[in-house]
Amino acid sequence: MRARYPDFSGFVDRDGVKVAYDVFGEGATTLLLIPPSPITHSRSWKGQIHHLSQHHRVVTFDGRGNGRSDRPGSAREYTPAEMMEDMVAILDQAEVEKAVLVSHCHAAWWAFLTAATFPERVSGIVAISPGIPFVGDPNQHWTEVAARWKEDPVDPQGWEMCNPAFWRRDGYEDWIRFWFDLLATEPHSTKQVQDMVGWALETDPETMAMANDEETKGATPELADRLCRSVHCPVLVLHGFQDLCQMPGRGRAVAELTGGQFVLIEGTGHLVAGREPVIVNRQISAFVSSIEGRAMKSRTWSRGLSRRRKGLYVSSPIGLGHARRDIAIANELQVLDPDLHIDWLAQPPVKSVLESEGHTIHPASKWLASESAHWASEATGHELNAFQALRRMDEILVANFMIFQEVVDEGNYDLVLSDEAWDIDHFGHENPELKRGSHVWMTDFVGFVPMPDGGEQEAFLTSDYNAEMVEHVARYPRIRDRSVFVGNSADIVPDSLGPGLPSISEWTNEHFNFSGYITGFVPPSADEAAEMRQQFGYEDGQQICLVTVGGSGVGRSLLERVVDAFPYAHKELPDLRMIVVTGPLIEPESLVVPEGVEVVGYLNRLHRHLSACDLAVVQGGLTTTMELTAARRPFLYFPLRNHFEQNRHVRYRLERYQAGRCMQFHESTAEDIALAMVTELSRPIDYLPVETDGARRAAGLISELF
């Protein structure tokens, strides 16, 4: 799922060649993002679009030869002049008089050519790793590629694979995989490489050969020098110090010839926009602001000793459980410091829970890209590979971190509390200079665990992600001023973080404080539960089965199968009454249910209903299952297939508490579920007790940072 979808999509048609473009947002300044096609297309800017379109109008396009655009069949149709005319036609059709051109690699030539030919249409150029041939430091590899371009190598290796004859002999994919592995010089760049390889494979060897033919480019040293000197608009050049495609000296020389600003980014390679999106976004935004001559905004400032303390709370929107425990912690913090004001950066469905409790939602929350919608889109039936879904959420995480950073830059927050806000933790470690105030990181699990279906590749990727986390914390321990594990040391799985890495238990015990579990409520006594049942309208003698799948929208398949199980269970238990809670993202009316089954949508304070039921049927999420454990209610739980947290971390904890009965959805018929329901209703409860002071303990750990 994307962080933002276009407001408008269209095509320009030049001499029968259609080029696709998209328009996002609005603003006084328009940015045209130019991909270095045909090796990639407009999705290469996915880390920039959401942020830039919050403030400006953004136009992207798929260059001819890739994406949704046509792939013309002659080399002359891929010249820089043709690319320039495409760009001008797009600006015309999108009714853009003047734009800032943002380019990468060889697309910089097209941007400079446009600025030189149509100076009235270009207000500035951002050139990332500009591929302007013959300028600055040459890359000897490219010289050698050009020398053997028309040869037919027998068994090429490495750079030798950059050859059209080899590509046509089914060698194109081998070259592409080598190429992007080479360009991603930063460790832990598996997702960026995967993306670039996928986009490059959307074109074909013949198109790549035509677009890269030396005769197509037509560049000479004199032409390159003259082109750079003819650009008179403001220019910003961003270049990675470890760039193995375009040498950093080339970027510096381009900046000198154009009179532009040069920013060298140490520690990064050629894929700067993908690998360092936060840096690139902030550099582009600052550059556009300088062009616009934007004045500083008016604001009110309070001296430090005169203002009340402020906290910003970011609660994971994946399900509703995080909101309950975070509200409990916030309430305890304000007991310890009544003067503490807390804003919440939150999105649905968590936002609804917070508003119902009277908490303050930061206005910027409305700009957050939906994480819950992404998780729902990743689910198929009762299956969700949580690790892979998190990897594919990278563009949403970038978008939401940029919103978060703008909020903390302007908000003067003394404290940031993030409950499994992966964007804040990851990009905070990647960009430590941006930290403001103290930061508390909270989680109820540590370590990605591969699922058997993922094979060796998933085992490699989870280890790589774990290794990155270990390196982040070792390199910048100051990013997490306090790490709080919601649970106890005994709840940690005994697995390894990966080859050559410590065990999850060892590493977590070294780097976390433990709050104990946080339910946010005190389980009711028998008399209190009876009173609640009366309030809810449960009749004496009825056996109440509550079915719920949380607030993420993932779980329809489970609801439907449990509903199908009701008639079988009802034969054995005539007094059985089933209440199905769909949550805020599944329409109750969309479920067809038999007589005796009630369907409701969102239930405020669901934990009270769980505490008063006789049996619950739920997914494998930690919050709901631990609330049932604390209330000592019998329950069946169905972990989502390939969901590493539910199948490993949560199940391990529940087995320690001797709570609930784990069932596999794909192995359970409606009759199986009905039999399990009858059995669990008669089984004695012998769970380990769950502490009730977890929120107070967490608040005590956090308050030490005040």
Res 605 pLDDT > 90: no
Q: Report CA-CA distances (Å) from 491 to 241, 256, 523, 650, 688.
A: 44, 59, 21, 9, 12
Res 691 pLDDT > 60: yes
- Alpha-carbon Rg for the chain in angstroms: 29
* Cα 480 to Cα 464: distance, rounded to the nearest angstrom: 21
Res 296 pLDDT > 60: no
Supply φ then ψ for residue 498, to 5 degrees: 145, 170
pLDDT tens digit sequence for 95-146: 999 999 999 999 999 999 999 999 999 999 999 999 999 999 889 999 999 9
Same fold, 8-138+219-292 and 526-682: yes
Res 7 pLDDT > 90: yes
> What is residue 550's predicted lDDT score, i.e. its pLDDT?
73
* Cα 164 to Cα 181: distance, rounded to the nearest angstrom: 20
Mean pLDDT for 42-59 is 98
Structure tokens at 509: 């015990």
pLDDT tens digit sequence for 324-382: 899 999 999 999 999 999 999 999 888 888 888 899 999 999 999 999 889 989 999 89
Three-class SS of residue 164? helix
* Cα 353 to Cα 351: distance, rounded to the nearest angstrom: 5
Res 297 pLDDT > 90: no
> What is residue 137's predicted lDDT score, i.e. its pLDDT?
84
Mean pLDDT for 580-607 is 87
Sequence-separated (6 or more) residues with CB below 8 Å from residue 494? 503, 504, 505
Q: Report CA-CA distances (Å) from 100 to 30, 41, 52, 254, 679.
A: 6, 18, 12, 17, 67
> What is residue 551's predicted lDDT score, i.e. its pLDDT?
64
Q: Which residue has the tokens 């198109």?
A: 207
Domain boundaries, the chain: 8-138+219-292, 140-211, 304-519+697-703, 526-682
What's the fold here for domain 526-682?
Rossmann fold (3.40.50)
What is the SS3 string spanning 373-441? HHHHHHCECCECCHHHHHHCCHHHHHHHHHHHHHHHHHHCCCEEEEECCHHHHHHHHHCHHHCCCEEEE
Least confident of 5-9, 602-606, 637-641, 650-654: 602-606
CATH class label, 8-138+219-292: alpha beta
> What is residue 409's predicted lDDT score, i.e. its pLDDT?
95
DSSP state of 641: B
Q: Report CA-CA distances (Å) from 413 to 424, 438, 706.
A: 15, 9, 11
Cis bond before residue 684 (omega within 30° of 0) = no
CA 87 to chain centroid: 30
pLDDT tens digit sequence for 382-436: 999 999 999 999 999 999 999 999 999 999 999 999 999 999 999 999 999 999 9
Mean pLDDT for 230-238 is 98
Q: Which amino acid is at 487?
A: G
Q: How confident is the model at residue 553 (pLDDT cuts 50, 70, 90)?
A: low
> What is residue 302's predicted lDDT score, i.e. its pLDDT?
74
Res 589 pLDDT > 80: yes
Rounded to the nearest integer, the mean pLDDT of the chain is 94
pTM of the model: 0.95
Mean pLDDT for 505-509 is 98
Query: If we measure between CA atoms, which residue out of 431, 442, 381, 387 comes closest to residue 405?
Result: 431
Q: How confident is the model at residue 39 (pLDDT cuts 50, 70, 90)?
A: very high
Query: If we measure between CA atoms, which residue out of 353, 434, 406, 440 comes closest to residue 623?
Result: 353
Least confident of 199-203, 501-505, 592-596: 592-596
Which architecture characterizes domain 304-519+697-703 according to CATH?
A: 3-Layer(aba) Sandwich (3.40)
> What is residue 322's predicted lDDT score, i.e. its pLDDT?
83
Res 585 pLDDT > 90: no
CB 631 within 8 A of CB 668: no
Mean pLDDT for 575-582 is 95
Find the Cα–Cα–Cα–Cα dihedral 361, 364, 367, 371, rounded to 10°.
Answer: -50
* Cα 442 to Cα 701: distance, rounded to the nearest angstrom: 11
Sequence-separated (6 or more) residues with CB below 8 Å from residue 646? 386, 619, 620, 621, 622, 639, 640
